[in-house]
Structure 1
Amino acid sequence: MDFYSEFSKNYDKIFPLNSKKLELIDNTFKVLKEKRENIKLLDVGCGTGSYALALAERGYKVQAVDLDAEMISLAESKKVKAKADVEFYRLGMLNLKKKFKSASFDGIYIIGNVLVHLRKKEIKEFLVLAAELLKENGKIFIQLVNYQRILELNLDGLPTIYSKDDSVRFERNYDYNKKENIIYFKTKLIDHFDDKILSENEIELYPLCKSELEADLKAAGFIVENIYGSPGGDQYRELSSIPLIITANKK
């Protein structure tokens, strides 16, 4: 995870909190407040903790996990300045039972394309685990890249992201191995002023598409509730939506 440790220093520049995504997550879970008090959420792959802290400030009780120590360290430092408390843990997404008991949460969210860092079998395992950690009628919120669009249009990457202060840029390229059904995700974090590469990485991602994710959710004991094609809640369109966002209820 050396890349992510290095990348964490610029993480909030590249991926600042998206207010529309925050609202969509909040709207997904706040309906639970009509039935229960002290709604408990689990943030899986929390990064530097921006969404966990923002949701805690809105009255949720949030616990959050990430595998990278530097990300967790930054999240802890941000908590000092925040007006809410979040419990952060360094933990992998398949090891959640080491820390949390069954039926511990009202909601789980996993955003930022975190889920597809797992292999096909592991994704199924994670969704079963998520269902076990959720209370009856609990909800899950999943956001990842719309891989149907990537594969159908044979795209070789995603648009470069430029930080708001224009100091760094994040280049993202894909190399799809059809035989293995794996995407090699190649990234570079570049100092935008002198074109110096600060860090680069290649990681395997599983191109999880909508139909397969729906089937996996159903097999894990979920009922799909909503499917969105943007953080603003726009309708999902197979060949034009950049993200795929799915919310589902535990049966």
Structure 2
Amino acid sequence: MRNVIKEYYDQNCEREWKRLEDPYARIEFFSTLYMIKKYFPENGRVLDIGAGPGRYSIELLKRGYKVSLLDVSDKCLNLAEKRIKDLGLHAEEYICMDIKDLSNNICEEYDAILLMGPMYHSHNKEERKKILITCKRLLKKDGVILISYINSFGVLKAGVSEFPDIFNSLDEADKYLGELKLSAQEGFTESYFATPNIALSEVESSEFKVLSYAGAESFLSGLGDVVTRHYIENRNIYLNLLKLAVERCEDIQFRDATEHLIIVAQK
């Protein structure tokens, strides 16, 4: 993975920790936990790839899983280790490397894998395929993987309120109707966006069996300002919206137009 991505996360590890505390981002967080509870085995070893500062690893550890964290950012892993130890929890390993560089000798070690970042930071299709093939090798028979992509359609929708300047040109807006590769200057860092069909095809071409997929923000996608206002003004409305969005995140009428796509597949 390119140095620019490592540098971004090294510089923003505290921000990444706090990001999922945002009222809108918590929809993504709880939808992901919902999918983990629904599709992961009840126990076993989990590899959290793109673990960042450890938000999901902590939740997995609380649920009794044996967890190893892998990330390109040593600063994020250091923060994760501190937060995990502060909670009296223990992770198996903290591995600082690009998943593509992991030894070929490691096979069928994990019952489940979280792949939450690498697929939306690689412009190269062959690199993304290598990531998926590596994960397949690491999983035990019938192991489950949860894969996150950034969804072009959802980003287009969010752009109406978050970065409306793209709509000054229809040619610019049209770019969000397919694959989109952004440099570090164009996006939050170097990033790759894909439509659900492209992402699902990529996973299936690596010989995974897709079990389901969800839209992390559900029917609240693109409504960050409104969701935050409800959080501030009426916490009951906010909590009910959060619960309903999480429970409906797999509904076909919502999942194809959210910023984050969650694909669940099996070896």
TM-score range, shorter chain: 0.7 to 0.9
Matched residue of 1:103: which SS?
coil
% identical aligned pairs = 24
Q: Which residue of 2 aligns with 1:209?
A: 195
| Matched residues, number | 216
Higher relative CO (Cα under 8 Å, sequence separation at least 6) belongs to 2
Offset of 1:96 from its aligned partner?
2.6
Kept in 2, the 8 Å contact 1:176–1:182? The answer is: no
Match of 1:115 in 2: 119
Show the counterpart of 1:56: 61
Contact 1:53 1:85 in 2 (8 A): no
Alignment map for 1:11-160 (pairs within 5 Å) = 11-16=16-21, 18-29=29-40, 32-33=41-42, 38-86=43-91, 87-97=93-103, 101-111=106-116, 113-118=117-122, 119-150=124-155, 153=156, 157=159
Greater helix proportion = 2
Residues of 2 paired with 1:142 and 1:217: CA distance?
A: 9
CA 1:228–1:249: 2 relative to 1, 3 Å = same
| 2:259 matched residue in structure 1 | 242
2:48 counterpart SS class: strand
Pick which of 3-12 and 124-133 moved more.
Answer: 3-12
Runs of 4+ in 1 over 6 A off after TM superposition: 171-177
Query: What whole-Å deviation, never above 9, does each CA across 1:109-131 have from its counterpart, x for those lacking one?
Result: 112x4411112211111111111
2-side partners of 1:52 and 1:183: how far apart? 28
* 2:257 maps to amino acid: S
Which residue of 2 is the match for residue 183 of structure 1? 182
What letter is aligned with 1:89? Answer: I
- Seen in structure 2, the aligned counterparts of structure 1 residues 243 and 11 have a Cα distance that, compared at 3 Å, is closer
Unaligned runs of 5+ in 1: 161-170, 188-200
In the superposition, the TM-score normalised over structure 1's length comes to 0.73
Contact 2:182–2:190 at 8 Å: present in 1 too?
A: yes
In 1, are the aligned partners of 2:179 and 2:193 still within 8 Å (CA)? no
Q: TM-score w.r.t. structure 2 length?
A: 0.69
What is the Cα-based RMSD across aligned positions, in Å?
Answer: 3.1
In structure 2, runs of 5+ residues without a counterpart are 1-5, 167-171, 218-245
* CA shift in 2, pair 1:158/1:52, >3 Å: farther
Structure with more of its chain in strand, by fraction? 1
Shift of 1:158: 8.3
Note the C-alpha offset of 1:176. Answer: 8.0
> After superposition, what is the alpha-carbon deviation per residue over 1:125-167, rounded to whole angstroms, capped at 9, x for unaligned?
11111111111111110122221344xx5x684866xxxxxxx
Amino acid paired to 1:21 = T
**Structure-1 separation of matches of 2:107 and 2:52:** 24
Q: How has the CA–CA distance of structure 1 residues 73 and 183 changed in structure 2, closer, same or farther, with 3 Å as cutoff?
A: same
